[in-house]
A and B are shown apart, each in its own frame.
Chain A
Amino acid sequence: MRPATEEELCEIVRNASGPLVVRGGGTRSIGRLVIGDMLETTGLTGITLYEPGALTLVAQAGTPLVDVVDALGKEGQRLPFEPMDMRALLGSQGTPTVGGMVAVNASGPRRVQAGACRDSLIGVRFVDGAGAIIKNGGRVMKNVTGYDLVKLMAGSWGTLGVLSECAFKLLPVPEAEITLVSDSKSPAEAVAIMAQALGTPYEVNGAARGDDGCVALRIEGFAQQVAYRREALKSVLGGDWAVLEGEKSQTHWRSIRDVVAFSERAGDVWRISVKPSDAPEIVARANCPVVLDWGGGLVWALSPAGSDLRKRLGAFQGHATLVRGSESTRASLPVFHPEPAIVAGLAQGLRARFDPRGILNPGLMG
């Protein structure tokens, strides 16, 4: 099923008699497998509003992300949060959509400074499990009118409602970007360097360590500003740094963002969110190849197929999500990190109210 309007979407959900597999472009298929009728939002397309002078864009949920990126590019603007493209890592086909990106709260390296998808999302329209059309937030960037369902929808993986429209605040694309790169001996050394860099006033908006040990720090801004910050940062950090400029810098961050290092390699891929200074310990316990992003706050781990990484990690502050794994692994291990009973109870309560019949991606999040 592929509704062309919000009203059609509403009809479909209202008349559904069993589980619906809700998806955008189908490029981010993680989570427990859901068996049911396919409901795709790719028929709901189009940028409904774009005001460059107000740094605001509104698009229907099924709009290909590339259309939005192109429209913004023409005005020298962008989505601040650098959403990941999961196709290489998951081997998925199709076209990422705006709604899919929001449903998984996709955020890339710049998240460490510019916030996540949920931070740039300022409004949503969606159809809940009973078929009601609901709007929340709007098209202005400061809005505290009523409860924030916008944040709730970001990262709810289509389990609380089917997104029909999303509104974002935007940022200008800076004139220049450069990346400083250097080798690190260990994750601990890398995390310390990244923490130092992120603690400077030079607005480092990318801080990652590849699985080859290469530490990368990104600076963006006006050309002279970037030149100044590059030298200032090098002098604070000491050591030898090479500089990647322009296209080379962009390519480097695309590969960090999309975890290209693990795309061709066998094994399960886990995404671990931790306190950055805990990352070295987590990496030691994971005992497998890793890519560190967000100054260490995000650990991508390539774990032997079928093995329970969470068991190796033991108790820690944060969470681990199984992003890539075989069907049998995803059936035997929780894909999303099990939450404390009270939090799980609240989540269950929200599901029961937003999707009383349990038909929207049931079981996907566990």
Chain B
Amino acid sequence: MKRFDIDSLGEKLLRTFAGNTSRRSFLTKLGATIVAAPAFPLLPVSRARAASKPDRSPEAKTAFARNAQTKDDTKCDYWRYCAIDGSLCSCCGGGVSSCPPGAEPSPVSWVGTCINPDDGKAYLIAYRDCCGKSACGQCGCDNTDRETQLYMPQLNNNVIWCFGTKSMEYHCSTAVLVGKAS
């Protein structure tokens, strides 16, 4: 079983990023952010790691996790959406991890740690915004499991993450499965 690894997450995010853009100044800024934010997704993950056997019993789950479902990704209670804020791209002509036609995926994102009710395991989810078109406006969701305030932006769901895209106009949000969190 592959465990979540912060380095591999960084590599995945940056590899995707590198494949999508050549904006040097942006990369510099992104690097500065990662250096400047040592707490970057370590906190929820490190908590999960610290416990030898994470407690995924119903009593240990958030209200969202206890009620989440795995069948319909156009509903706010779909399990990956535990910390999403915005229009679901799956309601806008896109998918749970893909952008609607003509929209550009952001290379960076905020993250959430969500529990899949089918296997009871926690997964790291990257909430990538789709950018460059006016707001989709469909299926607005605002879930806040382990969501933090603006001074911890990697876990804050208000920030528009359309960095490094041609236009920062926000269209909708996806929930890309990155890997197991524990």
Q: Do chains A and B interact in one complex?
A: no
Partner-A contacts on B (CB < 8 A) = none
Partner-B contacts on A (CB < 8 A) = none
